[in-house]
Amino acid sequence: MNRRDFIQAAAASALIADAPASPATSKMVGLQVGAVSFVDEGVDKALDEIQRDAYVNTLFVATFTYGRGIAGRQTPGQPLPDHGRQEYDTAGNANAFHGGSYTRIHPQYYKDTVIQDFRAPELGDYDVLESVIPAARKRGMKTICWFEDVWRRDIPNIEQAQEKQFDGRNSTNLCFNNPNYRNWLLGTVEDYARSYEIDGIMWGSERQGAFAQALGAAHESSPRDVATVGCFCQYCERKARERGIDVARARAGFQALGEFTAAARRGQRPVDGYYVAVWRLMLRYPELLAWEMLWTDSLRETYAAIYQKVKSVKPSIGVGWHIWHNNSFSPIYRAEQDLGELSKYSDFLKMVMYHNCGGERMATYIGSVGRTMYGDVPGQELLDFHYRVLDYQQEKSLAEIPKSGFSANYVYEEAKRARTALTGTKTQLWPGIDIDIPTAQTNSRSTPDGTKEAVLAALRAGADGVLLSRKYSEMKLGNLRGAGAAIRELGLA
Ligand SMILES: [Zn+2]
């Protein structure tokens, strides 16, 4: 038994001694769950189900978001799962989805920001942490606060924290370099760390810098016009100047890039071809890449600041990040996810490895970059190139992947790569596992076997746990039990 196995075994036996009700696994088995599930189904009933079906030992409770990806009931247009209230939280219903904070706001932590009014209204004054933590502890389950970088435009004072787009208008996104947002983030984690007996905090930001956005290098169905990319606010421009970036040259570069992408999307081929044209822009305007890295470094500084804030309050609280699925598609975004760098301020990383929706999303990504920098490359060739450079061995054709999803081998390869990149660091790898993440009705859907194979692949690749995603309220119990079957098969139950 090596030292790591010994520590894991010791941790497992300690868990048994302290909490007989908990499964005796040394691997983190996490599940993302929003407040509405506990309100609709009852805390104990939901926890019974989650423990029984998938041996979950860690709850990732969605404490704040304005997005439906991790909070609220099933997404409208998708079939309701076989548990929970059999209705959608659409406009007009009593509990119509709005989003915000699902915990009590303690105002003393938000004195240094204009963002003060962000309570989610739909569940009254229900505090999900106050309600869930005691019941979870009784069962030996850990609770991690899970919140994300998703905002809406109708929050009081929010315009004072928003990114500035290239066209000068405010974005829905907030700027990491704006003190109102930075202080809100630090206030929020301090609020969680001081007000509740939590075991961890995870935050996620599914965005990227202006250059990658402008190229459409993401799995977003409507690619960005350069007018809407960001950030070009006063704080970012000041930070750019401090780094020696010529702001006027950067703006000229984005202007030229925008003219290129607009023409490319109309099918107007540059005389030297699309790929050469992008290289010519990068060579003429290295500020395009400098601006991209400015944004990425600002995100990293935000991670580090959150990490230090939480550790200054209570060092035992684990802190880590949800890493966007674009890491599986775009080599540019993957280059920005330098795990050795991130490990300095990460106790854990949830790397998204959603196999089922991954096929549909990869096809969308290929369609998007196939209309800008790779405009000369036929879709299947472009996909094959990405399989090669991203190191995926067994995935299907462009026509098939939306209908088939990615294989479990994709999860294995991604988990193996990330685990290897983290060797020698303190950072735990917890791959995000897809259970019923919405896809088009005609495309591939989650199955119990598919879920089981994905969990097996992640753990066999050496992952330190798995995080069942995105939210309990969209998961079918049969598919959740697929995860449980994998845990049993590995002898971890
Ligand atoms: Zn900014």
DSSP output for 229-294? -B--SHHHHHHHHHTT--HHHHHHHHHHHHHHHHHHHTT---TT-HHHHHHHHHHH-THHHHHHHH
> Can you give the pLDDT at residue 409?
98
222 pLDDT above the threshold of 80: no
State the distance from the centre of ligand 1 to the C-alpha of 230, rounded, in angstroms: 7
451 pLDDT above the threshold of 60: yes
State the distance from the centre of ligand 1 to the C-alpha of 232, rounded, in angstroms: 5
Helix ranges (H only) for 337-445 are 339-342, 355-369, 379-390, 401-404, 408-421
State the distance from the centre of ligand 1 to the C-alpha of 208, rounded, in angstroms: 13
15 pLDDT above the threshold of 80: no
251 pLDDT above the threshold of 70: yes
pLDDT in tens, 296-324: 999 999 999 999 999 999 999 999 999 99
220 pLDDT above the threshold of 90: no
Peptide bond into 233 cis (omega under 30): no
% of residues, the chain, pLDDT over 90: 92
230 pLDDT above the threshold of 60: yes
Q: Residues 119-137: what's their mean pLDDT?
A: 97
> Can you give the pLDDT at residue 4?
53
If you ran DSSP here, which 8-state letter would residue 469 be given? E
Which range among 19-23, 50-54, 68-72, 384-388 shows the weakest confidence by mean pLDDT? 19-23
Average pLDDT, the chain: 95
Q: Residues 335-342: what's their mean pLDDT?
A: 98
268 pLDDT above the threshold of 70: yes
% of residues, the chain, pLDDT over 70: 95
State the distance from the centre of ligand 1 to the C-alpha of 343, rounded, in angstroms: 25
pLDDT-derived band at 158, boundaries 50, 70, 90 = very high
pLDDT in tens, 165-178: 999 999 999 999 99
> Can you give the pLDDT at residue 8?
55
State the distance from the centre of ligand 1 to the C-alpha of 164, rounded, in angstroms: 6
State the distance from the centre of ligand 1 to the C-alpha of 351, rounded, in angstroms: 26
State the distance from the centre of ligand 1 to the C-alpha of 290, rounded, in angstroms: 14
State the distance from the centre of ligand 1 to the C-alpha of 213, rounded, in angstroms: 15
Instruction: State the sign of the Cα–Cα–Cα–Cα dihedral 466, 445, 74, 229.
Output: positive
6 pLDDT above the threshold of 70: no
1 pLDDT above the threshold of 50: no
Q: Residues 233-247: what's their mean pLDDT?
A: 98
State the distance from the centre of ligand 1 to the C-alpha of 209, rounded, in angstroms: 11
354 pLDDT above the threshold of 90: yes
CB neighbour class for 80 (10 Å; exposed up to 12, middle 13-18, buried from 19):
middle
> Can you give the pLDDT at residue 16?
43
State the distance from the centre of ligand 1 to the C-alpha of 294, rounded, in angstroms: 10
